[in-house]
Structure 1
Amino acid sequence: MSKILKLLIFLLILGFSKAYADIYKCEDPQTGEVIFTNFKGVFPEKICQVYVKEPRKFISKTGFSSSYYNIDERWFNEVAQAYSLDPALLKAIAKVESSFNPKAVSPKGALGLMQLMPTTAELVGVSNPFDPLESLKGGALYLKKLLEEFRDLELALAAYNAGPEKVRLYKGIPPYSETQNYVRTVLYYYNLFK
């Protein structure tokens, strides 16, 4: 089967899919065969890279299905107002951090809706990072502190991802692709949710 035909089949399936997942392009280094999948580890002998990052056509204007995770969308407005933040910004961070999953745990140990590290959760007074409202409040307070320190949205987002000490060290967005992609992705969703 030709690469073009495989790509067309992939796009056709993607067009009817309701899945919300990254799509990986995996290429066999020996044969050059290309396969598209939403499971990165399915082909360990192949080299896989992100090909499509949660296709934008499937992202709604409100950003998420709150009923799936039992999150009240009004919380974003209430918490944002309490901390003088834009609710669309809080939604964007929650989307990128946990995809609105209040039980999310990252490989690095970040927890909950706003993916707070245990030390950060303690710093902002969050005792249960898996409580979505508590996590949202803690994430908003942390973001507010970062915005006050750095006085720049991109730097505050970089600090939210990599830690404020890294932003201070590099006097800007750290040269980590993860952090640079994080800032771009949050800003993308922020503009989408506005």
Structure 2
Amino acid sequence: MVLAGLLFCSVSAVADIYKYEDRNGKLHFTDRPMKGSGYRLLWHSPTRQKKSTSSRIDLASSDRNRHLYSPMIEEIAKKVRLKAALLHAVIKAESAYDPRALSRTGAKGLMQLMPDTAKRYGVYDSWDPRSNLTGGATYLRDLLIMFNNDLRLALAAYNAGENAVKRFGNSIPPYPETEAYVVRVLDLYRENQSSGQFAALE
């Protein structure tokens, strides 16, 4: 199922937007797709501009939702002992801040929780932003613990599942979508850190 809220929202145009749906049905968004990563053009900027050094997705609804949910995201990040800049990066890569995001395999909400993961973390309503964020943030924290604070492995496990990471000898599985996802989130995380907007929270 496509992400209708993003397909038909009004767009503030600064760059082309690409979408990728991985083998688990999770949706990922970027304006700088890696070569061979499988991203497809979702929206084309009517006025091409010089290539920006920022990877910011400038969907109007994404910006509105980011501002709306930022206090909750930062509260939950502090509660589960994650950096707010990291949690924001994962949310942006997973759903572009759309609380109604739905993949064809049933991943839901801001952090694209699969039904089994939601059940595992006591999330009974994945459409509820607070429940979804709390479950996803706790899962990400547990993955960091599981993989000895190796952020790259934790992100790979969030995308492909911890068993996939273990199956490949505690390394990033050689799936193009997972490799691209890890790079994407790390890029967003670095941008969030360099912006300084989360410094007072961490």
Amino acid at match of 1:109: G
Structure 1 distance, partners of 2:64, 2:43, is 26
Residue 160 of structure 2: aligned partner: 162
Change (3 A) 1:102 1:174: same
TM-score norm. by structure 1 comes to 0.69
Tell me the matched-pair count: 153
Which of 1, 17, 32 is equivalent to 2:13? 17
Please show how residues 77-92 of structure 1 align to structure 2 within 5 Å. Answer: 77-92=74-89
CA RMSD of aligned residues (A): 3.0
> Is 1:134–2:124 an aligned residue pair?
no
Unpaired segments of 5 or more residues in structure 2?
A: 1-11, 19-30, 33-39, 45-50, 194-202
Structure 2 distance, partners of 1:137, 1:91, is 13
> Is 1:184–2:161 an aligned residue pair?
no
> Is 1:123–2:103 an aligned residue pair?
no
Structure 1 distance, partners of 2:65, 2:142, is 30
How far off its partner does 1:19 sit? 5.9
How far off its partner does 1:154 sit? 0.6
Change (3 A) 1:37 1:129: closer
Unpaired segments of 5 or more residues in structure 1?
A: 1-15, 25-35, 41-53
Deviation track 1:138-176 (CA, whole Å, cap 9, x = no partner) reads: 111000111111111110100000000000100210010
TM-score norm. by structure 2 comes to 0.67
Change (3 A) 1:20 1:129: farther
Change (3 A) 1:147 1:186: same
Amino acid at match of 2:68: I
Amino acid at match of 1:184: V
Work out whether residues 76 and 133 of structure 2, in 8 Å CA contact, stay in contact via their aligned partners in 1. Answer: yes
How far off its partner does 1:109 sit? 1.9
Structure 1 distance, partners of 2:175, 2:128, is 30
Structure with larger RCO (C-alpha < 8 A, sep 6+): 2
Q: Choose 1 or 2 for highest CA Rg.
A: 1
Alignment partner of 2:130: what SS? helix
Alignment partner of 1:73: what SS? helix
Q: Tell which deviates more after alignment, 127-136 or 67-76.
A: 67-76
How far off its partner does 1:106 sit? 1.4
Residue 3 of structure 2: aligned partner: none
Amino acid at match of 2:133: L
